Amino acid sequence: MKVIAATKNPGKIREIMEILSPLGIEAVSQGDAGIDVDIEETGSTFEENSLIKAKAVALFCDCPVMADDSGLCVDALDGRPGVLSARYAGEDANDDDRMNKLLEEIKGIENRNAKFVSVVTFVFPDGRVLSARGEVEGYIMAEPIGTNGFGYDPIFFCNELGKGFAQASSEEKNNVSHRGRALRNLYKKLEKELKK
């Protein structure tokens, strides 16, 4: 089954294929499918934004579409940056700008607990919708450590791995990552749905 993924990120396509290909799913990016659409993420939750993205791409094709929305939620900031993770320091900001803003905001705060959250939504052409969530717990370190990963990885210490995300190999990170967990949860739901 061919599925359009509402992403332009080849890393996400690889991760989707690694987890969902045993179900006979072949994921193709929206770019490779010739769908060029700018999607405004207006939702206030990961679930809403994931569904907005999937439905926006589904308007341009007649095959299943999947999308994800993910971000970092910090306890001391009432869950921020959350759905605004990618735009936290402004539209033109880079990873360093976002990390520095976050570190500045929690300077001197003892509770640095945080989690990465990902929600994956799968929309069938007939309108059926499946959604799955994945999370990984940790805390925000005092400064960036490690050279792997991207986004907030250099300041996120993963409790399960006992090291920062940017210190972990991609294999280690994928084993516990929020998106990997969301995709594995989606796998179970899809498996049931496809048997009907």
Catalytic residue, from 69, 92, 95, 97: name it: 69
SS (H, E, C) the chain: CEEEECCCCHHHHHHHHHHHHHHCCEEEECCCCCCCCCCCCCCCCHHHHHHHHHHHHHCCCCCCEEEEEEEEEEHHHCCCEHHHHHHCCCCCCCHHHHHHHHHHHCCCCCCCEEEEEEEEEEECCCCCEEEEEEEEEEEECCCCCCCCCCCCHHHEEECCCCEEHHHCCHHHHHHHCHHHHHHHHHHHHHHHHHHC
Annotated catalytic residue 69: yes
Task: State the catalytic residues.
Answer: 69
